[in-house]
C-alpha cells in the first residue's frame, strides 16, 4: 500500500512516511476540542442555508413520490421496451456511492491504512444515507409498491415463497444486509464519541440525548476490550459485503439475456465502479467540509491525494471494463452484442456514451499529475465529473441495452419525465438533509480514533493494531 | 331470440334513480324555454316551469341531458379519464357508487340461460351496407364478443376488425342517447306526429320535396319500406351517398356492361392474380371470404409445394402486396398505362401497349401477360375502386379476354337495393336543396354528408334550406347539428333488421339486448314514415319475410326459426348475370387512359394526392371506436391519426420531414396535414386517408378532433386522386406510431437500420417456391438451432396437453382482425394517443411490419407476435415473486394477483410481448364498461404486467366440456380435449386462417402437423428460449422472367 499512501512524501520529500496524518501541534485535547466543537458550538449560518435548501429538495421528493403513488408508475418515463429507467439508474448510482464508506471503514482498517481515520466516520454516514436513498428506488419503481414485502421470504398461509432464482430477491438480501451492517458499524464506532459528547454537553437535554446514544459507555478497559473486538468483527463482516453488494446488483443485469447486460465482466467492473463513485462522493463532501469547519488539520492534502489515487486506480479498472465489453462483443462474434456496442457509440444515445467516456475515461486521467491530485479545487471538479459519469454509465447500461434489443419491431426510446428528475434530485435532497443533520449533531470525524494517531501518543508511525490500547 | 333477453339493462337503468332523487336540471334548456315564452307568463319555481309538457318529458327521460354532452377541447388523456367519468354519468347512475337495489332471482328461469355460460346468437353486422354473418357471444344478455359465423358464405367463421369492434360501439357512451328537436329533447311520439303532419301536408303534391338520403342499403325489409313510401309519394326521391364507394367501379360497370352488377371474385380458383392498387383482401364487401380463398391458394404444403403467383402493381403499399410475389410501385397514371398495355397484350383492347415506355416496366407487362395467358380461366385481375373508370373497364375486358368470367370472377345481380350512381345522386340532391326544391329530408342510417360529401357540393349550405330535416344515426355528428330532428339509431346488436352479404345471401339481424338508449332502427324510422310509428322492428322484418320464406311443413315459424338459427336465409344468393365487356368500351377506355397519361406526364413533378378509406376507421364512421382508433394501421403502424403519407424520395425532394406540418392546396381549397414517410409509396404520390379531422363539436369521435380532414379537399369530379400543392409549414405534429417509437429521421435511416437488422437476425425467414421444391429443409438450414436440453434446469414434462401455436407468415395480410379479436376477448384496455406516444400500448398480440430491400420500393412483411410461451422462458427466471410461471401444460402463466410490477420479466423478454399497466388503464367502475367485459377474463389493475395467455379461459372452458363429455365413460380418463375443439380468439377471427393453435403433444391437432413442417421456425430460436409459438416461413413464387430484372425483392 506504499504506492497508495505516499502523501507524506509529497510534503516532506526528504523524510518519506514521517509526515503525520494530523497536522503538527495537535494533542489529544485539541483534537477532542476541535472535533466536538463542530457539534457543540453555535450553528453557523451557512448550515441553515444549506439545510434549508436540502430540506426543500426533500419536500420536492415527497411531492414527487406522492404523485407517483397516487397516479402510478406511468408518471415516469418508463415504457415498452425500456421497463427500467431512472429508478434503477439511481438505485445503482446511490448504492455505488455507498461503497466507499464500508471500504474505508472495513477494508482500509484491516489493511491498517490509518489515514482512513479522519474520513471514515463521515464516509460511513454517507454510505448509510446513500443506501437509504438507494433502497427507496426498488420500492418506488414497483407497479404496486405496497406489496414489496412479497419479495421477502416470510412464512404465510399460501405457502408462497419468493423466486430464489431471481436476482431481485438476491438484491433484497444483499442490500438489506449491507444496510444493516453499515448501520451497526457506524453506530458502534459512534458510541465512544457519543460518550465524549455526553460528557462535554452542558445542557441537560443534550446530556440525556447523547447519553442515551452512548449506551452507558464509561471508557473502562473492559468496555474498550469488548468494543475493539466487536469493531474488528464487524469490520471482518463488512469486508465481503463491499464486494458482494455490487456484485449482486450487477447480477440484476448480468443474469438477464439482454445484449449489453448479459456479461460476465459485470461483477468486478461494478465493484470497481462503486468504489470509484464512492470515493468521488467522499471527496465531494470532504473538500467543502474541511474548509467549512476548519478541519484542514485532520483531513489533510495527504488524505485528499490518497483518495484521488484510489479514484484513479478504480477509474482505470472501470475504463478497462468498458473496453473489455467492446472486446467481448467483437471477439464473441455475436451480432447482437456487436450491434448493442455500436448502438451505444453511434445510436441515438451516443451523447450519453461520449459523455460517459469523457467523465469516466478522460477526466480522471488528470489525476496522474500531482498538481491536480493535490489541489482540492481540481479534485472537487474531477469528483463532480466522475459522479456525473457514473450516473451516465448506469444510464448507458440500463437504457441503451433495453431500447434496442432483439426484435427491431419493438425498439423504442426513453427519456425521463419531470417526475423522474424531481425524484432523483429529491433523493439528493434527502441525502443532503440527512448529512446536514449528521454534521450538526454528531462528530463527523472519529474523536477517539484521531486521538490514537496524534503524534506522541504512540510510537511513530502508529498502527491500527495499536488501537487496542486504551487512549487517554 | 326473444327480445326479453335484454331487459336487464333497462331495468338497471330505471332502478338507478332512487325515489326522491331529482333529475338534474338542464338549465340551458330551461332558459331557452323561458326566452321563447309568449307574454308575461309568471313562474314561481323551477318546478312549476318543469311542469310544462316539454319539461315533464325532460324529467322522464332516462338519461340527463348533460350526460350526453362531451366536454370539448380536452386532451386525449383527459378524454379517456373523462370517458370513464361520463360513462358513469351518462350510463346508468348519477353517483359513483352503485345504488342499493333489491335483487330478485328469476321466478321463471329463462330457457337456456346458465349464469357463467355464454350463449351465441347468429346474426349479421353490416359494414358500408353489406352484411357479414356473425355469432354474437352473450353473457346474461350482454353481447361481449363477435365471432364469424362458420355457416355464412362471407365469413366462414372469420370476422374482420370492424365487426370485432362492433361490441365496443354498442356500449359507447358517446352514442346519442335521446331524440332531439332543434337541439332540445324530443320524444318518439312527438317525432311521429311531426312526420305524420308533414307527410299529410305533402300528400296532395305527391310528396314533392320529400327526399331520403341513405348509404348503401342491402336490407330487403328497408328496401320494401322505402319502395312503399315512394309509391305513396311518387314525387319523392331516394338518394344514396356512400363516401368510400364503389363509385368508379359502378361507373365502369355501366360503361362496360351497360348495367350495374355485383363483382364476385373467387380467389380459390386463381393461380395467377394481378392486383392493381387493390385492397380486395382487406376492404370491400367480400374481403373476409376473399382472404380465405386467397389463402387457400397461397398455403404451401412442403411435401408438394404449390402456390399461386401474385403480382401487385400499386402506388402505395397495400395489404395484398405484403403477401405477393412481385410488387411494382408506380404513380397512378403509370398504373393505368400499365393496365392499358396489359389489356392490349392479352388481346382485350386494340391499343395501349405504346403507353408503357419505361424500360423497367415493359418486361413486367410482357411477363405478366404471358403468365396470365398461360393460365386461361384460372387467373384473376383485380383493380381497386381508386382506379379510373376507364381502367376498370379495361380490367373487366382483360378478365373477359382471359376467360376468367364464370370461374374466378362471377358477375351477379347487384346486391344493394336500387343501385344508382352515388355521386350523381348526391349532386342532384344538393342542387335541389340549394334551389329550395327540398323541404323534407330524411338522412337515414348515420349518413353524415355535411362531413363526407364532396367539398364542391357544399352540402351544409344547401341543408340549411331544408325546413324539415331529420337525421338518424348513432351519433350526434356534423350533419345532425343542421337538422331539425335527430333520431338516435339503434345499434345492430339492439334492433331487428336484415341485410345481404357480398354474394347476396340475406341474413336476419337479431338483437341481443334491448336498446341501451332511445335508439330506433332504420326500419322503425321508415315504419313511422309509413304511418306505423309504433310498429316493432321485429314485426316489420317478419312481415317482409313472411312473403319470402317458404311456408313448408312447419309453416313460417319453423322457417323463421331456422333462419335465425343459421344466421342466413338459404338460397338467397344473387343470381349470376351474363355480361360481356363491350369491345368499344374497352377501346374507348384505352383512349381515355392514353389522354390522361399524357396529361399526367406533362405535369411531371406535381404531387398527386390520393384519397383512401382508412384501414381503421374507414370513412370516419368508426371514429368513435377507440379499439379501431388505437389499432395500428397495417402499413404505417400509426394510431389515432391519419397522416399525409409520402415516399422517401418525395420527402427528400420537397424537403419534408416526418411529423412536420404542411398545407395542402387543391384548387381553392386548403387544409392542413402532417407528414409521414412510408417506404413503398410511389414517387410524387401522397395518401391522405378519409375519416379524420372531424369537427370539434361532432360527437361520435374519440380522437379529440385528431388527424386531417381529407374530405375538405375531395371534390365530386376527383374522388380518389387530385393534383395537390404541398407547402411546408414546419411545425411538429407528433404521431403515435407503435413501431420504432420516436426513432424517426428524415433520411429514413432508422427504418433502414431496423429492416436491415431484422434481416440479419432472421426475424422473417423466407424462401422461394423453387428453392423449397429443391430442398424442403432450406429454412432449417438457414440457421443453427440449439439442441434441446441445453439448459441447467431439468426439462419440463407434459403428460397431458402441451399447448402451442403456429403462424403461417405466407398468408398473413396484416389485416388486424386478430388484434381486435384479442382485445375484445381479453378485456385489453385502450390507452390513448399520449400513452401510445410514450410507448405503452397494451395489445397482447401485435403485428410487426418489416421492410425488405430498397427503401424506395421495398418488399413488405407482416408478422403477428403473441406471447411465445417459451419452454425456457427468460421472464420466469427473473420474476422475484413467481408471478409468471410455467404451467403443467407449458403455458407461461401470468398471475396478476401476485405481480408486484418490477417489469424485470418484460426487460428480459426477447420478444417484448409483455404489457404493463403503467397507469390505471382499465375502466373498472363504470357500468357500461362492465357490460362489455368478458366475465371470464380478469380486468387488470394498475401496476401489474399482462400478456397473451393463449386464451387460457377458453382452454379451461374446453377442459370442463371435455370432462363433462367424459363423465359417462366407464373409466374416468384424463379428459383430453379432442383435436380441433378449441380455438384462440386470434385464430378464430383470422380471415386467412394463418394461425393454428392446439396440443403439440397430440399429432391429431393441426398445429402438430404445422410444427412438423420443415418450414416451421422459432423466432430468435438461437437464444434457446424454445418458443411454443412458431412461424411457417414465407414462400414466394416469383416469375423467373422477372426475377433477374430489377425487383424489389432482394432475398434471391
Q: Do A163 and B882 touch (CB under 8 A)?
A: yes
Q: Which residues pair with B137 in a beta bridge?
A: B120, B145
Is B811 in the A-facing interface, judged by CB distances under 8 Å? no
Beta-carbon separation of A412 and B879 below 8 A: no
- Is the model more confident about B66 or about A301? A301
Contact residues on chain B for A340, CB-CB shorter than 8 A = none
| Cα gap B673→B684, rounded to integer Å | 16
User: pLDDT class for B703, splitting at 50, 70, 90?
Assistant: low
Residue B705's pLDDT band (cuts 50, 70, 90)? low
Cα angle for residues A408, B883, A409 (degrees, 5° grid)? 10
Strands B685-689 and B607-612: parallel
Distance from CA of B737 to the nearest CA of A (A): 10
All residues at 6 or more sequence positions from A176 whose CB lies less than 8 Å from its CB, including other chains: A135
Q: Find residue B610's DSSP bridge partners.
A: B687, B721
Q: Are B1051 and B763 in contact (CB under 8 A)?
A: no
Tens digits of residue pLDDT in A183-235: 888 898 889 889 988 888 888 998 999 999 998 888 889 999 998 899 888 88
Smallest Cβ–Cβ distance between B839 and the set A145, A165, A412 belongs to A412
Which has the minimum average pLDDT: A198-207, A297-306, B757-766, B890-899?
A297-306
Residue A13 has pLDDT above 50, yes or no: no
SS3 B252: helix
The minimal CB distance from B943 to the residues A144, A163, A336 is found for A144
Across the interface, of A73, A144, A256, the residue whose CB is closest to B878 is: A256
Q: B794, exposed or middle or buried, with CB in 10 Å at 0-12, 13-18, 19+?
A: exposed
Determine the average pLDDT of the residues in B557-586.
Answer: 86
pLDDT digits (tens, 9 = 90+) for A428-442: 999 999 999 998 888
pLDDT category at B348 given cuts 50, 70, 90 is confident
Asked if the Cβ–Cβ distance from A142 to B1023 is below 8 Å, we say no
The phi, psi pair for B940, rounded to 5°, reads -80, 145
The band of A299, judged by pLDDT with boundaries at 50, 70 and 90, is confident
Of the candidates B742, B758, B901, the beta carbon closest to that of A143 is on B901
CB proximity B78 to A under 8 Å: no
- Whether residue A280 has pLDDT greater than 70: yes
Test mutation, B831, B901, B914, B917, chain A, max A CBs within 10 A: B901
Neighbours of B198 (CB within 10 A): 18
Residues of A in contact with B742 (CB under 8 A): 412-413
CB contact under 8 A, A83 and B874: no
In degrees, to the nearest 5, what angle opens at C-alpha A59 toward C-alphas A54 and A61?
95
pLDDT greater at residue B389 or residue B93: B389
DSSP state string for B469-480: EEEEESS--TTG
Confidence band for A98, pLDDT divided at 50, 70 and 90: confident
Q: Which of B839, B877, B942 sits opposite A165 (nearest CB)?
A: B877
Closest residue, chain A, to B752 (C-alpha): A408
Residue B771: how many CB atoms within 10 A of its CB?
Answer: 17
**DSSP-assigned letter for residue A151:** G
Estimate the share of chain B in helix, then strand, then coil, as percent rounded to the nearest 5: 35, 20, 50
How far the first Cα of chain B sits from its last, in Å, is 57
Looking at beta carbons, which residues of chain B come within 8 Å of A406?
761, 910-912, 1020, 1023
Instruction: Give the mean pLDDT of chain B.
Output: 84
Residues 682-741 of B with CB under 8 A from A: 739-741
**Contacts with A163 from chain B: Cβ below 8 Å:** 877, 879-882
Please tell me the distance from the alpha carbon of residue A123 to that of residue A101, in angstroms, as a whole number.
Answer: 4
Residue to substitute from A83, A137, A167, A340, interface B, most B β-carbons within 10 A: A83
Instruction: State the complex-level ipTM.
Output: 0.89
Whether the CB of A84 is below 8 Å from some CB of chain B: the reply is yes
- CA of B762, closest CA in chain A: separation in Å? 10
CA distance A280 to A381: 10
Residue A461 scores a pLDDT above 60: no
Write the residue in A73, A161, A409 that is nearest to B918 by C-beta: A73
Confidence of residue B551 (pLDDT cuts 50, 70, 90): low
pLDDT band at B696 (very low <50, low <70, confident <90, very high): low
pLDDT tens digits, residue range B325-335?
A: 999 999 898 89
Q: Which residue does chain A place closest to B838, by CA atoms?
A: A79
pLDDT given at position A32: 77
Chain A residue whose CA is closest to B842? A80
pLDDT at B86: 57
Mutate to test the interface with B, among A73, A74, A77, A414 (most CBs of B within 10 A): A74
Residue-wise pLDDT for B465-483, tens only, equals 888 899 999 988 888 888 9
The alpha carbon of residue B836 is apart from the nearest alpha carbon of chain A, in Å, by 10
Cβ contact, residue pair A162, B739, below 8 Å: no
Distance from CA of B915 to the nearest CA of A (A): 7
Query: Which residues of chain B have a CB within 8 Å of the CB of A150?
Result: 880-881, 898, 900
Please, is B935 exposed, middle or buried when counting C-beta atoms within 10 Å of its C-beta (0-12, 13-18, 19+)?
Answer: middle
Interface of A with B in 240-259 (CB under 8 A): 252, 255-258
What does the pLDDT look like over A82-96, one tens digit per residue?
Answer: 999 999 999 999 998
Q: Which of A78, A162, A168 sits opposite B904 (nearest CB)?
A: A168
DSSP class per residue in B114-133: -TTS-EEEEEEEEETTEEEE
Tell me the CA distances in angstroms from B1009 to A84, B787, B1002, B1005, B1013, one per residue in order. 40, 21, 10, 7, 7
Q: Collect all residues of chain A within an 8 Å Cβ-Cβ radius of residue B740.
A: 408-409, 411-412
Q: What pairs with residue B184 in β-bridges? A: B181
**Chain A residues within 8 A of B838 when measuring between CB atoms:** 74, 77, 79
Of A80, A167, A409, nearest to B839 by CB-CB distance is A80
| Residues 392-411 (A) with a CB less than 8 A from some CB of B | 402, 405-411
Task: Choose among B758, B761, B879: nearest Cβ to A163.
Answer: B879
pLDDT given at position B973:
56
**From A143, A166, A402, residue closest to B916, measured CB to CB:** A143
What is the maximal distance between C-alpha atoms in chain B? 96
pLDDT at B12 over 50: no
Reduced to 3 states, what is the DSSP secondary structure of residue B569?
A: strand
When mean pLDDT is compared across A127-131, B490-494, B648-652, B742-746, the lowest value belongs to B742-746
Q: Tell me the three cell numbers of residue A391.
A: 450516473
Those of residues 347-366 in A touching chain B at CB distance below 8 A are 348
Q: Distance between CA atoms of B442 and B210, rounded to whole angstroms?
A: 8
Which residues of chain A neighbour B917 with C-beta distances below 8 Å?
Answer: 72, 143
Amino acid at each position: 500500500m506504499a504506492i497508495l499512501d505516499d502523501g507524506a512524501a509529497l510534503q516532506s520529500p526528504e523524510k518519506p512516511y514521517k509526515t503525520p496524518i494530523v497536522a503538527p501541534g495537535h494533542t489529544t485535547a485539541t483534537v477532542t476540542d476541535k472535533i466536538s466543537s463542530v457539534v457543540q458550538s453555535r450553528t453557523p449560518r451557512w448550515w441553515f442555508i444549506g439545510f434549508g435548501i436540502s430540506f426543500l429538495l426533500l419536500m420536492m421528493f415527497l411531492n414527487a413520490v406522492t404523485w407517483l403513488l397516487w397516479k402510478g408508475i406511468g408518471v415516469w418515463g418508463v415504457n415498452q421496451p425500456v421497463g427500467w429507467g431512472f429508478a434503477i439508474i439511481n438505485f445503482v448510482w446511490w448504492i455505488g456511492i455507498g461503497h466507499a464508506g464500508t471500504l474505508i471503514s472495513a477494508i482500509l482498517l484491516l489493511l491498517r491504512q490509518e489515514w482512513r481515520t479522519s474520513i471514515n466516520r463521515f464516509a460511513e454516514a454517507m454510505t448509510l444515507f446513500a443506501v437509504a436513498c438507494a433502497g427507496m428506488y426498488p420500492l418506488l419503481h414497483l407497479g404496486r409498491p405496497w406489496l414489496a414485502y412479497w419479495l421477502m421470504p416470510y412464512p404465510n398461509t399460501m405457502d408462497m415463497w419468493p423466486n430464489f432464482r431471481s436476482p431481485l430477491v438476491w438484491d433484497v438480501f444483499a442490500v438489506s444486509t449491507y444496510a444493516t451492517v453499515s448501520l451497526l458499524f457506524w453506530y458502534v464506532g459512534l458510541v465512544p464519541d457519543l460518550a465524549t459528547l455526553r460528557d462535554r454537553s452542558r445542557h441537560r437535554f443534550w446530556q440525556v440525548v447523547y447519553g442515551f446514544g452512548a449506551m452507558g459507555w464509561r471508557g473502562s478497559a473492559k468496555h474498550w476490550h469488548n468494543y475493539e473486538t466487536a469493531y474488528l468483527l464487524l469490520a471482518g463482516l463488512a469486508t465481503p459485503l463491499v464486494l458482494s453488494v455490487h456484485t449482486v446488483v450487477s447480477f440484476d443485469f448480468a443474469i438477464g439475456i439482454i445484449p449489453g447486460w448479459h456479461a460476465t465482466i459485470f461483477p468486478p467492473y461494478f465493484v470497481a465502479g462503486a468504489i470509484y463513485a464512492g470515493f468521488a462522493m467522499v471527496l465531494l463532501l470532504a473538500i467543502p467540509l474541511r474548509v467549512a469547519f476548519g478541519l484542514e488539520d485532520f483531513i489533510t492534502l495527504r488524505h485528499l491525494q490518497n483518495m484521488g489515487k484510489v479514484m484513479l486506480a478504480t477509474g482505470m479498472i472501470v475504463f478497462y471494463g468498458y473496453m473489455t465489453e467492446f472486446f467481448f462483443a467483437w471477439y464473441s462474434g455475436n451480432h447482437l452484442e456487436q450491434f448493442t456496442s455500436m448502438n451505444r457509440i453511434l445510436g441515438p444515445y451516443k451523447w450519453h456514451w461520449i459523455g460517459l467516456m469523457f467523465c469516466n475515461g478522460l477526466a480522471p486521467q488528470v489525476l496522474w499529475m500531482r498538481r491536480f491530485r493535490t489541489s482540492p479545487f481540481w479534485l472537487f471538479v474531477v469528483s463532480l465529473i466522475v459522479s456525473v459519469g457514473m450516473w451516465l454509465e448506469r444510464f448507458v447500461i440500463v437504457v441503451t441495452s433495453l431500447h434496442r434489443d432483439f426484435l427491431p419491431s419493438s425498439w423504442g426510446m426513453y427519456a425521463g419525465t419531470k417526475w423522474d428528475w424531481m425524484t432523483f434530485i429529491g433523493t439528493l435532497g434527502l441525502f443532503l438533509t440527512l448529512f446536514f443533520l449528521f454534521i450538526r449533531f454528531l462528530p463527523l470525524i472519529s474523536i477517539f480514533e484521531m486521538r490514537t494517531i496524534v503524534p506522541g501518543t504512540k510510537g511513530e508511525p502508529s498502527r491500527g493494531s495499536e488501537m487496542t490500547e486504551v487512549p487517554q | 331470440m326473444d327480445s326479453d333477453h335484454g331487459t336487464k339493462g333497462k331495468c338497471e337503468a330505471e332502478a338507478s334513480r332512487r325515489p326522491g332523487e331529482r333529475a338534474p336540471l338542464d338549465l340551458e334548456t330551461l332558459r331557452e324555454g323561458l326566452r321563447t315564452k309568449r307574454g308575461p307568463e309568471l313562474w314561481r319555481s323551477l318546478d312549476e316551469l318543469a311542469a310544462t309538457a316539454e319539461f315533464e318529458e325532460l324529467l322522464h327521460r332516462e338519461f340527463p341531458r348533460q350526460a350526453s354532452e362531451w366536454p370539448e377541447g380536452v386532451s386525449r388523456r383527459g378524454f379517456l379519464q373523462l370517458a370513464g367519468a361520463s360513462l358513469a354519468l351518462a350510463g346508468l347512475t348519477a353517483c359513483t357508487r352503485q345504488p342499493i337495489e333489491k335483487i330478485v332471482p328469476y321466478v321463471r328461469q329463462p330457457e337456456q340461460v346458465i349464469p357463467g355460460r355464454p350463449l351465441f346468437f347468429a346474426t349479421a353486422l353490416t359494414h358500408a351496407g353489406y352484411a357479414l354473418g356473425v355469432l354474437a357471444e352473450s353473457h346474461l344478455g350482454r353481447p361481449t364478443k363477435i365471432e364469424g359465423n362458420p355457416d355464412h358464405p362471407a365469413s366462414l367463421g372469420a370476422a374482420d376488425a370492424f365487426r370485432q369492434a362492433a361490441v365496443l360501439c354498442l356500449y359507447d357512451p358517446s352514442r346519442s342517447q335521446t331524440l332531439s328537436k332543434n337541439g332540445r329533447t324530443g320524444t318518439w311520439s312527438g317525432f311521429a306526429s311531426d312526420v305524420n303532419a308533414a307527410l299529410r301536408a305533402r300528400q296532395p303534391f305527391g310528396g314533392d320535396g320529400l327526399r331520403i338520403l341513405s348509404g348503401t342499403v342491402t336490407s330487403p325489409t328497408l328496401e320494401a319500406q322505402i319502395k312503399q313510401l315512394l309509391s305513396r309519394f311518387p314525387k319523392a326521391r331516394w338518394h344514396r351517398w356512400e363516401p368510400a364507394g364503389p363509385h368508379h367501379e359502378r361507373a365502369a360497370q355501366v360503361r362496360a356492361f351497360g348495367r350495374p352488377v355485383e363483382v364476385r371474385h373467387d380467389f380459390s380458383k386463381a393461380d395467377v392474380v394481378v392486383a392493381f392498387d387493390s385492397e380486395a383482401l382487406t376492404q370491400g364487401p367480400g374481403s373476409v371470404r376473399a382472404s380465405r380463398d386467397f389463402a387457400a391458394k397461397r398455403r404451401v404444403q412442403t411435401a408438394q409445394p404449390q402456390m399461386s403467383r401474385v403480382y401487385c402493381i400499386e402506388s402505395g403499399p397495400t395489404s395484398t402486396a405484403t403477401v405477393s410475389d412481385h410488387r411494382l410501385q408506380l404513380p397512378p397514371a403509370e398504373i393505368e398505362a400499365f393496365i392499358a398495355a396489359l389489356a392490349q397484350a392479352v388481346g382485350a383492347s386494340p391499343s395501349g401497349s405504346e403507353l408503357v415506355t419505361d424500360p423497367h416496366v415493359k418486361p413486367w407487362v410482357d411477363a405478366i401477360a404471358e403468365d396470365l395467358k398461360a393460365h386461361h380461366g384460372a387467373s384473376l385481375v383485380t383493380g381497386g375502386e381508386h382506379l379510373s373508370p376507364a381502367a376498370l373497364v379495361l380490367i373487366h375486358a382483360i378478365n373477359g379476354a382471359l376467360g376468367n368470367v364464370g370461374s374466378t370472377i362471377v358477375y351477379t345481380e347487384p346486391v344493394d337495393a336500387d343501385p344508382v350512381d352515388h355521386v350523381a345522386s348526391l349532386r342532384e340532391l344538393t342542387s335541389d336543396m340549394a334551389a329550395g326544391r327540398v323541404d323534407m329530408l330524411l338522412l337515414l342510417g348515420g349518413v353524415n354528408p355535411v362531413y363526407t360529401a364532396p367539398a364542391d357540393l357544399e352540402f351544409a349550405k344547401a341543408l340549411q334550406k331544408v325546413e324539415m330535416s331529420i337525421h338518424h344515426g348513432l351519433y350526434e355528428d356534423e350533419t345532425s347539428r343542421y337538422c331539425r330532428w335527430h333520431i338516435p339509431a339503434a345499434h345492430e346488436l339492439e334492433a331487428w333488421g336484415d341485410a345481404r352479404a357480398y354474394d347476396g345471401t340475406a341474413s336476419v339481424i337479431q338483437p341481443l339486448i334491448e336498446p341501451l338508449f332511445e335508439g330506433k332502427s332504420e326500419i322503425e324510422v321508415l315504419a313511422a314514415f309509413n304511418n306505423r310509428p309504433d310498429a316493432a322492428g321485429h314485426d316489420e322484418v317478419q312481415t317482409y319475410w313472411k312473403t319470402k320464406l317458404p311456408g313448408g311443413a312447419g309453416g313460417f315459424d319453423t322457417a323463421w326459426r331456422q333462419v335465425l338459427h343459421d344466421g342466413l336465409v338459404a338460397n338467397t344468393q344473387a343470381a349470376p348475370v351474363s355480361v360481356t365487356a363491350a369491345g368499344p368500351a374497352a377501346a374507348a377506355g384505352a383512349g381515355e387512359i392514353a389522354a390522361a397519361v399524357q396529361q399526367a406526364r406533362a405535369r411531371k413533378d406535381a404531387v398527386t394526392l390520393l384519397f383512401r378509406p382508412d384501414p381503421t376507421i374507414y370513412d370516419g364512421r368508426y371514429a368513435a371506436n377507440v379499439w379501431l382508433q388505437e389499432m395500428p394501421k397495417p402499413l404505417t403502424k400509426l394510431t389515432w391519426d391519419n397522416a399525409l403519407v409520402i415516399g422517401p424520395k418525395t420527402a427528400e425532394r420537397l424537403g419534408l420531414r416526418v411529423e412536420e406540418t404542411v398545407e395542402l392546396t387543391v384548387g381553392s381549397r386548403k387544409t392542413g396535414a402532417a407528414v409521414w414517410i412510408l417506404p413503398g409509396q410511389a414517387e410524387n404520390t401522397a395518401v391522405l386517408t378519409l375519416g379524420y379531422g372531424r369537427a370539434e363539436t361532432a360527437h361520435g369521435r374519440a380522437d379529440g378532433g385528431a388527424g386531417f380532414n381529407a374530405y375538405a379537399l375531395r371534390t365530386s369530379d376527383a374522388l380518389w386522386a387530385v393534383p395537390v400543392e404541398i407547402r411546408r409549414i414546419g411545425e411538429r405534429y407528433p404521431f403515435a406510431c407503435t413501431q420504432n417509437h420516436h426513432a424517426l429521421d428524415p433520411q429514413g435511416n432508422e427504418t433502414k437500420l431496423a429492416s436491415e437488422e431484422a434481416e440479419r437476425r432472421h426475424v422473417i425467414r423466407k424462401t422461394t417456391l423453387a428453392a423449397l421444391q429443391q430442398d424442403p429443409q432450406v429454412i432449417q438450414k438457414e440457421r443453427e438451432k440449439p439442441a434441446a436440453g441445453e439448459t441447467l434446469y431439468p426439462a419440463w414434462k407434459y403428460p397431458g396437453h402441451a399447448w402451442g401455436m403456429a403462424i403461417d407468415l405466407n398468408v398473413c395480410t396484416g389485416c388486424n382482425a386478430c388484434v381486435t379479436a384479442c382485445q375484445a376477448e381479453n378485456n385489453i384496455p385502450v390507452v390513448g394517443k399520449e400513452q401510445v406516444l410514450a410507448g405503452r400500448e397494451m395489445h397482447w398480440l401485435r403485428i410487426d411490419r418489416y421492410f425488405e430491400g430498397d427503401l424506395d420500393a421495398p418488399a413488405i412483411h407482416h408478422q403477428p407476435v403473441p406471447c411465445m410461451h417459451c419452454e425456457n422462458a427468460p421472464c420466469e427466471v427473473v420474476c422475484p415473486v413467481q408471478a409468471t410461471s410455467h404451467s403443467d401444460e407449458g403455458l407461461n402463466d401470468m398471475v396478476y394477483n401476485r405481480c408486484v410490477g418490477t417489469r424485470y420479466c418484460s426487460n428480459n423478454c426477447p420478444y417484448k410481448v409483455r404489457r404493463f399497466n403503467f397507469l390505471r388503464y382499465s375502466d373498472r367502475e363504470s357500468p357500461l364498461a362492465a357490460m362489455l367485459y368478458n366475465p371470464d377474463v380478469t380486468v387488470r389493475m394498475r401496476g401489474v404486467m399482462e400478456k397473451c395467455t393463449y386464451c387460457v379461459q377458453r382452454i379451461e372452458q374446453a377442459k370442463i366440456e371435455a370432462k363433462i363429455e367424459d363423465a359417462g365413460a366407464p373409466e374416468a380418463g384424463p379428459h383430453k380435449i379432442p383435436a380441433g375443439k378449441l380455438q384462440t380468439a386470434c385464430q378464430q377471427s383470422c380471415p386467412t386462417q394463418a394461425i393454428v393453435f392446439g396440443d403439440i403433444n397430440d399429432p391429431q391437432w393441426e398445429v402438430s402437423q404445422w410444427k412438423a413442417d420443415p418450414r416451421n421456425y422459432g423466432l430468435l430460436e438461437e437464444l434457446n428460449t424454445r418458443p411454443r409459438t412458431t412461424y411457417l416461413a414465407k414462400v414466394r413464387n416469383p416469375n423467373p422472367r422477372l426475377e433477374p430484372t430489377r425487383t424489389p425483392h432482394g432475398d434471391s
